[in-house]
């Protein structure tokens, strides 16, 4: 499903990771993706992999969901790894044909790239599996708050994001209904030439756009009736709370970084 | 011939995942040709799934559905399903949401063209359909989006009728219409059933409509077909309706109260008009 | 009694269209009254409701709500006195969860966090949706969504509640729930109610009934008076209430029936008396 591709699927297992402040999770997972690029050896990758696995286990989410996160990207990963293997040079040459070669460094680089990809995907999947999209939106709003000083409409953007998230399932439903209605009128999706397939989307897209505009108009009226006159001065029902656990998580991440750097520079 | 037979039909959503939901259990029913069948049941009882299966929009997990000479099963190909759909018209809930063409006429002729009619043939069919639903010729070249809600509904219905279906599935066709619109719409379908011999399948929450128009009623509850019978059998038994989370038609309520007060009804009245007729008769015969 | 809503000579037409959607409508509604507005689709009922809330501006005429004349300067104050429930349950659900949606209006009015949490809680309990506070709208039925919308209204403690065909997209069960709930809340908070509806049986609950046709108020009065005028109701494309429907049919069959309004059980009683008196 579309929403699944966009936001992953939230799995409520109520683990320690689930309970962390979304700001902590967002910043820390971004931070982790950055430090992955400091890894340069078997030891460093092994350490990061162990750390990631530990985090995954802490989420209590079945491992299958993480595999679901990797699977859609497997083609890109494999392609990148293959290019890396064939086009990098150095070390012992095992095989060569024109500009293509398999070398010792090529294989090592390929393996590293592979690890890097999997680690990045797994860690961002940890974020989406343990945090509701809405909470991520809240975190983004909270983190971007300083930008209001330079007249960036952060509140409005956050409200837009939250409304967009709220309407994803509604519009998915709607498109399913419209698709069924047009199939009942003889439209055949996914068969025939490319042109025919593109053309068969028109009877879906036009009604979907019209309905989305109608909904938007209704929603705007309803918001106005409920006193919405812009983001200024609005109070917030949903507050984020920074707990000790969040500070601990940050501390753990710093410690992990120190171990990583030690492994990189002193072994 | 468009007899419909459900044989041991089961349907589950998201088969083989942890999210698997069994939406229909072992449905067996026969809907004879040229009948008017009402399917009633509370929201989520499986009515919608049942009619989507019938139109080949989804495939049964197990079991078969026979529509005339065609059969739908878990292994039916898209082209087989397409063939079945060409015989069935499906008026979805709020069907005006499916309009998309620049003109009313183009939108109505969209279905017939998809099922292999030439543009000229389709336009002839579209014009017939417009007349059938009571849309004035002058609207043919207008954009459907300029019309009133009630007119848009008619355009959408005409778009289904133009395909000359043998079977017409109606999913809450009067939802959102005002009382006059509701009456006119239900009369239109009743007429199509009687004059054009169309096999009508009506999904509705309006027990009054089911009682007044159908000659067979199917009661759904939690994915099961719990009862099938004539409107007489179904609606003369209010306890059975309440047990399946359905409302009792107003006529039934009044008839039962009148029975307690000494009136006798035979046959059991399914419309207020019929009830009044029998009441009047008893009052007159008493005074003579 | 005080007039809480007063509409004088309201005229409105959509831009680029000469037809008057509201054609010189005037009426008053007193504090605490329940008024039902009926009329066929496109008669101008919804336009009227929106005009009272300042959601569209009249071409001419005057709207006064709780002593405030509606204009550009007062529109937000007027809206703060009115709670509005619209027809489509999905299109008025702003929040990502049930609780968020109830809080939306409070956030707009700058209510502080502690008060807000308490009010959201209380409102959700009143509509019996407190167990669903963290649910997303996608998993709710239409009736539940409308109950959440009512909670959003109640949390603001408005003086007037307007329901614009709020039950027309619901199944019978959802419809019943919302109507019963509205009744309960009205008794508790004594607010003024304006309902726009097609459900003729629902209108019998009102203190007064307005019939709108082609942008004009063609009839107004107690439900008993309006609902017994079967000729007018049928002419205007409306339904007859159950009791009157039976009377109307019997009259067609040359049975003499009482002139005054009767609900269905009164009709049943009357008929049973007639039958027993003949024996």
Q: How far apart are CA C26 and CA C104, in angstroms?
A: 33
Residues in Cβ contact with A5 at an 8 Å cutoff, skipping those fewer than 6 apart = A72
Nearest to C109 among A215, A225, A227 (CB): A227
Do residue A222 and residue A167 come from a single domain?
yes
Cβ atoms of A143 and A122 within 8 Å: the answer is no
Indicate whether B282 belongs to any domain: no
**Residue B255 resides in a domain:** no
Question: Reduced to 3 states, what is the DSSP secondary structure of residue C216?
Answer: strand
**Does any domain span residue A81?**
yes
Task: Please report which confidence band the pLDDT of residue B59 belongs to, taking 50, 70 and 90 as the band edges.
Answer: very high
Per-residue pLDDT band for A8 (boundaries 50, 70, 90) equals: low
Q: Are A222 and A251 in a shared domain?
A: no
What is the signed CA dihedral for A108, A114, A115, A121, rounded to 10 degrees?
Answer: 170
**Rounded distance, CA A166 to CA A137, Å?**
11
User: Which range, of A36-45, A91-100, B198-207, C200-209, averages the lowest pLDDT?
Assistant: A91-100
Both A196 and A120 in a single domain? no
**Beta-carbon count within 10 A of C258 CB:** 11
Do A250 and A222 lie in a common domain? Answer: no
pLDDT score for A109: 87
Closest CA to A59 of A144, A9, A129, A138: A129
Whole-number pLDDT of residue B13: 85
Does a structural domain hold residue B191?
yes
CA–CA dist A105, C71 (Å, integer):
76
pLDDT band at B145 (very low <50, low <70, confident <90, very high): very high
Yes or no, beta carbons of B276 and C171 under 8 Å apart: no
> Among candidates B6, B54, B51, B43, which has minimal Cα distance to B27?
B6
Provide, as residue numbers in chain B, all residues whose Cβ is less than 8 Å from the Cβ of C268.
254, 257-258, 261
Residue A209 burial (C-beta neighbours within 10 Å; 0-12, 13-18, 19+): exposed
Nearest Cα residue to B144 out of B100, B92, B95:
B100
Residue B180 sits at the chain C interface (C-beta within 8 Å): yes
Tell whether omega for the bond before B267 is within 30 degrees of 0, i.e. cis: yes
Q: Is residue A142 part of a domain?
A: no
Name every chain A residue with its beta carbon within 8 A of the beta carbon of C79: 224-227
The pLDDT assigned to B288 comes to 52
Q: How confident is the model at residue C119 (pLDDT cuts 50, 70, 90)?
A: very high
Q: How would residue B236 be classed by pLDDT, with cut points 50, 70 and 90?
A: confident
Has residue A260 been placed in a domain? yes
CB atoms within 10 A of CB C83: 27
- Please tell me the predicted confidence (pLDDT) of residue A18: 93
Q: What's the confidence (pLDDT) of residue A6?
A: 43
B30 to chain C, minimum CA–CA distance in Å?
A: 27
Q: Is residue B125 part of a domain?
A: yes
Q: In this structure, are residues B209 and B200 in contact, taking their beta carbons and an 8 Å threshold? A: no
Least confident span in A1-5, A18-22, A253-257, C16-20: A1-5
The residue among C136, B13, B19, B12 whose CA lies nearest residue A62 is B19
Q: Which of C104, C111, C113 sits opposite A226 (nearest CB)?
A: C104
Kindly report which listed range (A218-232, B12-26, B41-55, B120-134) carries the lowest average pLDDT score.
B12-26
Subunits next to C (3 or more Cβ pairs <8 Å) are: A, B
Domain range enclosing A88: 16-131+242-266
What is the DSSP secondary-structure string of B144-175?
GGGS-HHHHHHHHHHHHHTT--SEEEEESTTT
pLDDT at B30: 95
Say if CB A123 and CB A136 are below 8 A apart.
no
The pLDDT of residue A261 is above 80: yes
Q: Which residue has the higher pLDDT, B196 or B36?
A: B36
Considering the domain architecture, whether residues A76 and A112 belong to the same structural domain is answered as yes
Position A151 pLDDT exceeds 90: no
Give every CB contact of residue C194 below 8 A, 6+ residues apart in sequence.
C5, C29, C35, C37, C49, C52, C160, C161, C162, C163
Residue C3 — pLDDT band, cuts 50, 70, 90?
very high
In a domain, residue B285? The reply is no
Chain B positions touching C249 (Cβ under 8 A) are 272-273, 275-277
CATH number at residue B179: 3.40.50.300
Q: Choose the mutation target among B93, B283, B284 for the interface with C, i.e. most C CBs under 10 Å.
A: B283
In the predicted model, is pLDDT for residue C275 greater than 70? yes
Residues A184 and A252 in one domain: no
C-beta of residue C21 within 8 angstroms of C-beta of residue C215: yes
- The predicted model gives B28-47 an average pLDDT of 93
Would you put residue C72 in left (φ > 0), alpha (ψ -120 to 50) or beta?
alpha
Region B122-151: mean pLDDT is 94
Domain count, chain A: 2
Count of domains for chain B: 1
Rounded average pLDDT over A227-232: 85
Among the partner residues C41, C249, C275, nearest to B282 by beta-carbon distance: C275
What's the rounded mean pLDDT across residues A231-239?
85
Q: What span, in angstroms and rounded, lies between the C-alpha atoms of A129 and A136? A: 11
Distance to chain A for B83, nearest Cα, Å: 9
B280/B267 Cα distance (integer angstroms): 15
Q: Which has the minimum average pLDDT: A254-258, B43-47, B87-91? A: B43-47
Residue A41 has which token pair?
């050896």
Q: How far is CA A82 from CA A102, A114, A168, A205, C42, in A?
A: 10, 10, 37, 39, 65
User: Does any domain span residue B225?
Assistant: yes
With respect to residue B284, please indicate whether it lies within any of the assigned structural domains.
Answer: no
Q: Which pLDDT score is estimated for A165?
A: 86
Do A40 and A160 lie in one domain? The reply is: no
CB within 8 Å of B100: residues ≥ 6 apart: A202, A203, A206, A207, A210, B107
The B residues from 20 to 79 touching C (CB cutoff 8 Å) are: 42-43
- Residue-averaged pLDDT of chain C: 93
Q: What is the mean pLDDT of residues A160-180?
A: 91
DSSP assignment of A88-114 equals ---S-EEEEETTEEEEHHHHHHHHHHH
Mutation target to probe the A interface, by most A beta carbons within 10 A, among C55, C77, C82, C90 is C90
pLDDT score of A2: 39
Once rounded to an integer, what is the mean pLDDT over residues A166-187?
Answer: 92
Say what the ipTM of the complex is: 0.92
- The pLDDT confidence band at residue C1, using thresholds 50, 70 and 90, is low
Residue A15 reports pLDDT greater than 70: yes
List CB contacts (< 8 A) between C105 and chain A. 226-227
Tally of CB atoms within 10 A around B143? 14
Start-to-end Cα distance in chain A: 46
Beta strands in chain A (DSSP E): 93-97, 100-103
Dihedrals phi, psi of B39, to nearest 5 degrees: -110, 120
Distance CA A89, CA C240 (A): 88
Contacts of B266 (CB under 8 A, 6+ apart): B278
Q: Residue C260 in contact with residue C246, Cβ under 8 Å?
A: no
Chain A residues within 8 A of C94 when measuring between CB atoms: 163, 166, 219, 222-223, 226
Q: Does A115 share its domain with A53?
A: yes
Nearest chain C Cα to B184, which residue? Answer: C237
Report yes or no: A184 and B91 within 8 Å, Cβ to Cβ: no
Pairing mode, if any, of strands B199-203 and B36-40?
A: parallel
Q: Give the number of other CB atoms < 10 A from CB of residue C14.
A: 11
What length is written for chain A?
267
Q: Clarify whether residues A27 and A104 are in a common domain.
A: yes
**A33 and A115 in one domain?**
yes
**What pLDDT, on the 0 to 100 scale, is given for residue C80?**
95
Q: Does B96 touch chain A (CB under 8 A)?
A: no
* Start-to-end C-alpha separation, chain C: 51
C274 vs C276: CA distance, rounded Å: 6
With H, G, I as helix, E, B as strand and everything else as coil, classify residue C204.
Answer: coil
B84: region left, alpha or beta (phi > 0 left; psi from -120 to 50 alpha): alpha
Higher-confidence residue: C209 or A191? C209
Helices (H), C82-196: 98-108, 113-126, 142-154, 172-189
pLDDT tens digits, C67-96: 999 999 999 999 999 999 999 999 999 998
B249 has a pLDDT exceeding 50: yes
pLDDT tens column, B74-114: 999 988 999 999 999 999 999 999 999 999 999 999 999 99
Please name the residue of chain C whose CA is at the shortest distance from the CA of residue B272: C246
How buried is residue A43: exposed, middle or buried, by Cβ count under 10 Å (0-12/13-18/19+)?
middle
> Cα separation of B60 and B10, whole Å?
6
For residue B213, pLDDT beyond 70: yes
Q: Which residues of C touch B (CB under 8 A)?
A: 40-42, 141, 168-169, 171-174, 198, 200, 237-239, 242, 245-246, 249-250, 252-255, 264-265, 267-269, 271-272, 274-276, 278-279
Closest by CA to B1, choosing from B163, B199, B170, B201, is: B199
Span A91-112, average pLDDT? 83
Apex CA B129: angle with CA B127 and CA B133, to 5°? 120
Residue B15 lies in a domain: yes
Pick from A178, A184, A202: which is nearest to B90 by CB? A184
pLDDT at A208 over 70: yes
A136 to A234, A248, C69: CA distances (angstroms): 20, 20, 44
Short-list A58, A59, A71, A60, CA closest to A118? A71
CB atoms within 10 A of CB C100: 22
Question: Is residue A1 pLDDT above 60, yes or no?
Answer: no
Average of per-residue pLDDT across C233-259: 91
Q: What is the pLDDT of residue A100?
A: 80
Q: Cβ neighbours of residue A193 under 8 Å, at least 6 residues apart?
A: none
Query: Angle CA(A167)–CA(A170)–CA(A172) in degrees, nearest 5?
Result: 105
Tens digit of each residue's pLDDT (9 = 90 or more) over C215-231: 999 999 999 999 989 99
pLDDT at residue A4 greater than cutoff 80: no
Token representation of residue B220: 């759904």
Torsion angles phi and psi, residue B108, rounded to 5: -70, -35
In chain B, residues with a C-beta closer than 8 Å to the C-beta of C250 are 276, 279-280
Mean residue pLDDT of chain B comes to 92
Cross-chain residue pair B148–C276, CB shorter than 8 Å:
no
In angstroms, the CA B53 to CA A6 distance is 30
Neighbours of chain A (3+ CB pairs under 8 A): B, C
Sign of the four-CA dihedral B76, B82, B88, B89: positive
Domain coverage including residue B146: 4-231
Residue A266 has pLDDT above 70, yes or no: yes
A104 and A210 both lie in a single domain: no
DSSP C70: P
What is the average per-residue pLDDT within A90-109?
A: 82
Answer yes or no: do A113 and A73 share one domain. Answer: yes
Residue pair C228/C261 in contact (Cβ under 8 Å)? The answer is: yes
| Burial of C17: CB neighbours in 10 Å, binned 0-12, 13-18, 19+ | exposed
Residue A60 Cα, gap to closest chain B Cα (Å): 16
Q: Is the pTM of the predicted complex or chain greater than 0.95? A: no
């Amino acid at each position: 499903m579309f929403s699944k591709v966009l936001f992953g699927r939230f799995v409520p297992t109520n683990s320690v990771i689930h309970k962390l402040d979304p700001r902590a999770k967002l910043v820390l997972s971004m931070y982790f993706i950055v430090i992955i690029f400091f890894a340069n050896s078997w030891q460093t990758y092994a350490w990061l992999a162990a750390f990631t696995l530990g985090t995954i286990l802490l989420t209590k989410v079945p491992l299958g969901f993480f595999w679901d996160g990797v699977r859609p990207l497997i083609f890109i990963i494999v392609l990148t790894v293959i290019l890396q293997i064939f086009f990098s040079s150095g070390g012992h040459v095992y095989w060569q044909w024109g500009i293509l070669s398999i070398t010792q460094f090529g294989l090592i680089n390929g393996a590293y790239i592979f690890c890097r990809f999997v680690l990045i995907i797994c860690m961002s999947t940890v974020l989406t599996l343990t945090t509701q999209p809405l909470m991520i939106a809240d975190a983004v709003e909270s983190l971007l708050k300083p930008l209001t000083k330079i007249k960036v409409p952060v509140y409005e953007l956050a409200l837009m994001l939250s409304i967009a998230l709220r309407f994803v399932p509604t519009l998915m439903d709607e498109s399913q209904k419209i698709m069924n209605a047009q199939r009942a009128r003889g439209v055949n999706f996914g068969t025939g030439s490319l042109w025919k397939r593109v053309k068969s989307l028109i009877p879906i897209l036009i009604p979907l756009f019209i309905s989305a505009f109608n909904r938007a108009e209704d929603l705007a009226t309803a918001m106005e009736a409920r006193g919405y006159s812009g983001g200024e001065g609005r109070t917030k029902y949903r507050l984020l709370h920074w707990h000790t656990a969040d500070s601990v998580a940050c501390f753990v991440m710093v410690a992990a970084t120190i171990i990583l750097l030690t492994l990189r520079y002193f072994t | 011939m468009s007899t419909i037979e459900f044989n041991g039909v089961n349907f589950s959503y998201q088969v083989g995942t942890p999210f698997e939901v069994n939406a229909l259990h072992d449905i067996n029913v026969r809907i004879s040709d040229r009948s008017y069948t009402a399917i009633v049941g509370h929201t989520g009882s499986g009515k919608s799934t049942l009619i989507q299966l019938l139109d080949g929009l989804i495939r049964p997990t197990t079991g078969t559905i026979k529509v005339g000479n065609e059969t739908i099963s878990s292994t039916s190909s898209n082209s087989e399903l397409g063939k079945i759909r060409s015989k069935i018209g499906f008026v979805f809930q709020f069907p005006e949401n499916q309009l998309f063409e620049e003109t009313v006429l183009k939108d109505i002729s969209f279905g017939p063209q998809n099922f292999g009619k030439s543009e000229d043939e389709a336009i002839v069919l579209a014009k017939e359909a417009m007349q059938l639903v009571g849309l004035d010729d002058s609207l043919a070249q207008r954009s459907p989006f300029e019309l009133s809600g009630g007119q848009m509904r008619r355009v959408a219905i005409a778009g289904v009728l133009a395909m000359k279906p043998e079977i017409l599935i109606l999913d809450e066709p009067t939802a959102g219409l005002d009382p006059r619109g509701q009456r006119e719409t239900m009369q239109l379908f009743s007429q199509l059933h009687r004059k054009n011999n169309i096999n009508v399948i009506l999904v509705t929450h309006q027990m009054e409509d089911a009682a007044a128009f159908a000659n067979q009623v199917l009661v759904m509850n939690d994915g099961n077909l719990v009862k099938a019978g004539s409107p007489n059998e179904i609606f003369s038994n209010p306890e059975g309706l309440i047990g399946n989370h359905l409302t009792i038609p107003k006529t039934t309520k009044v008839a039962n109260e009148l029975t307690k007060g000494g009136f006798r009804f035979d046959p059991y009245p399914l419309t207020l008009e019929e009830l009044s007729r029998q009441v009047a008769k008893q009052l007159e015969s008493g005074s003579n | 009694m005080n007039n809480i809503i007063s509409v004088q000579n309201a005229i409105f037409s959509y831009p680029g269209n000469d037809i008057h959607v509201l054609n010189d409508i005037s009426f008053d509604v007193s504090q605490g009254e329940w008024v039902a507005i009926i009329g066929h689709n496109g008669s101008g009922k919804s336009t009227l409701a929106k005009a009272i809330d300042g959601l569209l501006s009249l071409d001419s005429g005057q709207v006064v709500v709780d002593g405030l004349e509606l204009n550009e300067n007062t529109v937000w104050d007027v809206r703060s006195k009115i709670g509005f429930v619209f027809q489509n349950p999905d299109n008025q659900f702003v929040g990502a969860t049930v609780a968020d949606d109830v809080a939306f209006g409070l956030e707009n009015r700058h209510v502080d966090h502690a008060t807000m949490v308490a009010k959201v809680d209380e409102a959700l309990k009143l509509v019996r949706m407190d167990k669903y506070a963290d649910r997303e709208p996608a998993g709710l039925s239409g009736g539940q969504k409308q109950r959440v919308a009512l909670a959003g209204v109640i949390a603001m403690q408005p003086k007037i509640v307007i329901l614009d065909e709020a039950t027309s997209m619901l199944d019978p069960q959802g419809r019943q729930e919302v109507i019963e709930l509205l009744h309960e809340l009205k008794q508790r908070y004594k607010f003024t109610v304006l309902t726009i509806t097609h459900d003729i049986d629902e209108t019998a609950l009102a203190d007064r009934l307005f019939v709108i046709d082609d942008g004009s108020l063609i009839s107004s009065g107690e439900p008993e008076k309006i609902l017994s005028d079967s000729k007018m109701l049928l002419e205007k494309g409306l339904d007859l209430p159950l009791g009157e429907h039976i009377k109307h049919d019997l009259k067609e069959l040359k049975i003499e029936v009482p002139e005054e309004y009767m609900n269905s059980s009164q009709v049943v009683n009357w008929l049973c008396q007639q039958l027993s008196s003949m024996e």
